[in-house]
Chains A and B, each alone.
Chain A
Amino acid sequence: MTEAPLPAQAHPQAQSSALTGGQGRPRLRLATVWLAGCSGCHMSFLDLDEFLFELAEAVEIVYSPVASDTKIYPEQVDVCLVEGAVANVDNLELALTLRQRTALVISFGDCAISANVPGLRNLFSAPGRDSARTVLERGYLELADASGQLPHAPGVVPELLPRVLPLHEVIPVDLYLPGCPPSAERIRAAIAPLLLGQRPLMEGAAMLRFG
């Protein structure tokens, strides 16, 4: 029920370029982010095949695990596709940062939308015992040989959050692109209007079905 505020309010200047960018204007600054997901959504993105060339013409990819080397999320991003749920402190930090620096944030795929598969660890939270602890103990102690120990390297290995959260429970999200993964056609149908400064119409089974 925490409906995202309109991006226009969140980020007035960048927003206007996102929705009016196109011919004659500076290229749309696109980012893609990979949080707790399997990278399948990004793979599907790469399945866009020749549309990727069109895209390369129309946008500037400013941050992406598959198409850019930048390590720091840049300022003034127009559109960001976020794959994956928010499962650890690094995911959380990046989510908060990208929200501040991005006009239009898209929950990209079922994991970002509902926590989906990574969220299954939430099934193992009991009162007084969060799911992070349960899965860590299971993985690193119970199933390990006698030398097993819980990983602990602050600043190097990100700590798990007690629960895995969908993106919109952490930051306001502007558009939802479901699918596990969303098919290349669906991704294309969602992105193409953005290039023309329009909001895609997310309706019907072709655009909406989960899974």
Chain B
Amino acid sequence: MVALPARERPQLRCCGASGCRHAGAGPLLAALRAAAAAGGPAADDMSAGASAALQPLEVRSVGCLRLCGEGPLLAWDGPEGTRLFGGLAPAAAAALVDQVRGVASLPLAADPALAGHQLDLEQPFFRLQRPLVLEGCGIVDPECIEAALAHGSYAQLRRVLHELSPEAVREQVRRSGLRGRGGGGYPTGLKWDTVALQPPGRRYVVCNADEGDPGAFMDRSVLEGDPHRLLEGMAIAAYAVGADHGYLYVRAEYPLAIERLRLALQQARQQGLLGQGIAGSSFNLDLEVRVGAGAYVCGEETALLHSIQGQRGTPRTRPPYPAQAGLWGAPTLINNVETFAAVPVILREGGDWYAAIGSGNSRGTKVFSLSGAIRHTGLVEVPMGTSLRTVVETMGGGDPDGGAVKAVQTGGPSGGCIPAALLDTPVDFESLLALGSMMGSGGMVVIGQGTAMPEVARHFMAFSVNESCGKCVPCRAGTVQLLALLDRCLERGATAADLEALEALCAMVKATSLCGLGQAAPNPVLSTLRHFRQEYSAAPGAGR
């Protein structure tokens, strides 16, 4: 993933994903390319008469290199293996290129422009990762289909189209134990079967790339870092369920992802990997990008389908499930980005191989985005069942100021807070649910000692108030009242009656809301009440 095997001809991989772009990756990349060109021929424009004294130096823009908090990140692959740098200014580009070429006057460690910027690739943050979904992220140039093909993309699609029946594909996915990564954890193989086994007729395949949980950027990293893997997974899915048309629904807040996805679609069509008669088979598939309009609830599958149809993005009662009646009434397979992106590796290595990773009913790996009060913020992919402690303390490095972690929030506004005392919990669907939280899509926000938990609950409730679609009354009006109750608790401390009222309304909103947004909106309150109840009464004037 980040560290590559030693290689003779050096190359630079500069992270060009959103996180690092915000940290200044653009100017750094330009400066590196300029420095590489000034000192000698850069790889892209090597002319015949290039000086042999200077090695050609390839500078690639790649997807997320994981340790986003230290961005912009730069990997240097050479004969000594990979070295990683963080937070380099464009002014340091020349010094780095000199180091790569071996023409620097000072040793690396003594170079003032670079010293202190090198990051340890042997630290647990990198060492404990298990990249499957993110296999190509940070390695391939996401804007270049040749890079993706060289890295193995579309090989499984070709093989599947020529060698496997749709049923055989689904068999592998069933065996893999893969469950939906969009939050619900529904068994993917079962969903594919449900769509495939509907009466004959048109079917659709839809990728949910609406990633709306605050602090979550797993899907964005795949979209920005390795879009062809996603397209391959989706194409395999379409083949397995008999769909010939599909949509990628991406939130508007991801302009770079949208741009790269559109480019990737165009490249795939040019290569005959999408469109009519894919890879010489009789299989046809067209995929289109649909851009959301900024509503969180459009990540809910039925709302998303309405939105694709050009209607107001509100959820509807299920059943019928989209697998039975989705887009324009046709059976529709809808999966999350990460779910689709896990498919190529499952077919390459086999369902059983994938199922051997993970624990309990949660198989394979899961990508998490680590943020909040933590030393190493960024992207990690670990086997399911890894403990929260390993992720947060060992890999994430714990609290940046050396204090103790207070809690970990998983599952965003639908999830809950897990107290530090329970950090040994394995990260899998069931364990998190049992603690009143949930896996969600993979956002993990670490909460430090200084944060009051009722404030955290209030923050998420305010989110739900803003994002409720307004269709059903418990969510539309209930969350407003919950927010008011939380405000009262925060203002003057909760009385026993306040807490009782809070719990009663939470129960009602959870049980009676129409869709997952409302049903899960009380979770942050309930989980903090469960694990940090005393903090609710501790505010000024409590117990009056």
> Are A and B direct contacts in the complex by CB distance below 8 Å?
yes
**A1 contacts chain B at the CB level, 8 A cutoff:** yes
**B497 contacts chain A at the CB level, 8 A cutoff:** yes
What's the Cα separation between A54 and B533 when bound, in Å? Answer: 53
- Tier of interface size on chain B: under 10
Q: Closest residue of chain B to A2, judged by CB? A: B497
**B505 contacts chain A at the CB level, 8 A cutoff:** yes
Mark each residue of chain A from 1 to 32: 1 if its CB lies under 8 Å from any CB of chain B, else 0.
Answer: 11100000000000000000000000000000
What's the Cα separation between A2 and B497 when bound, in Å? Answer: 6
A206 to chain B, nearest CB (A): 27
What's the Cα separation between A3 and B500 when bound, in Å? Answer: 10
**B356 contacts chain A at the CB level, 8 A cutoff:** no
**B504 contacts chain A at the CB level, 8 A cutoff:** yes
Mark each residue of chain B from 497 to 530: 1 if its CB lies under 8 Å from any CB of chain A, else 0.
Answer: 1001100110000000000000000000000000
What's the Cα separation between A3 and B497 when bound, in Å? Answer: 8
Q: Closest residue of chain A to B500, judged by CB? A: A1
Mark each residue of chain A from 176 to 195: 1 if its CB lies under 8 Å from any CB of chain B, else 0.
Answer: 00000000000000000000
A162 to chain B, nearest CB (A): 15
Q: Which A residues are CB-close (under 8 A) to B505?
A: 1
B505 to chain A, nearest CB (A): 7
Q: Which A residues are CB-close (under 8 A) to B501?
A: 1-2
Q: Which B residues are CB-close (under 8 A) to A3?
A: 497
Q: Which A residues are CB-close (under 8 A) to B485?
A: 1
What's the Cα separation between A3 and B495 when bound, in Å? Answer: 13
Q: Which of B484-504 contact A (CB under 8 A)?
A: 485, 497, 500-501, 504
Q: Which A residues are CB-close (under 8 A) to B497?
A: 1-3
Q: Closest residue of chain B to A5, judged by CB? A: B497
B234 to chain A, nearest CB (A): 47
What's the Cα separation between A1 and B498 when bound, in Å? Answer: 8
Q: Which of B400-420 contact A (CB under 8 A)?
A: none
What's the Cα separation between A1 and B500 when bound, in Å? Answer: 8
Mark each residue of chain B from 459 to 500: 1 if its CB lies under 8 Å from any CB of chain A, else 0.
Answer: 000000000000000000000000001000000000001001
What's the Cα separation between A2 and B499 when bound, in Å? Answer: 10
Q: Closest residue of chain B to A1, judged by CB? A: B501
Q: Closest residue of chain A to B495, judged by CB? A: A2
Q: Which A residues are CB-close (under 8 A) to B500?
A: 1
B331 to chain A, nearest CB (A): 44
Q: Closest residue of chain B to A3, judged by CB? A: B497
Q: Which B residues are CB-close (under 8 A) to A1?
A: 485, 497, 500-501, 504-505
What's the Cα separation between A1 and B497 when bound, in Å? Answer: 8
Q: Closest residue of chain A to B503, judged by CB? A: A1
B507 to chain A, nearest CB (A): 12
Q: Closest residue of chain A to B505, judged by CB? A: A1
A169 to chain B, nearest CB (A): 11
Q: Which B residues are CB-close (under 8 A) to A2?
A: 497, 501
B512 to chain A, nearest CB (A): 16
Q: Which A residues are CB-close (under 8 A) to B504?
A: 1
What's the Cα separation between A2 and B485 when bound, in Å? Answer: 11
A168 to chain B, nearest CB (A): 12
What's the Cα separation between A1 and B489 when bound, in Å? Answer: 14
Q: A1-B504, A2-B497 are in contact. List 6 more A-B contacts (CB 8 A).
A: A1-B485, A1-B497, A1-B500, A1-B501, A2-B501, A3-B497
Which of A's residues lie within 8 Å of B, judged by CB? 1-3
- In order of increasing CB-CB distance, the 8 nearest A-B pairs are A1-B501, A2-B497, A1-B504, A1-B505, A2-B501, A1-B500, A1-B497, A1-B485
- List 9 interface pairs A-B (beta carbons < 8 Å), by A numbering: A1-B485, A1-B497, A1-B500, A1-B501, A1-B504, A1-B505, A2-B497, A2-B501, A3-B497
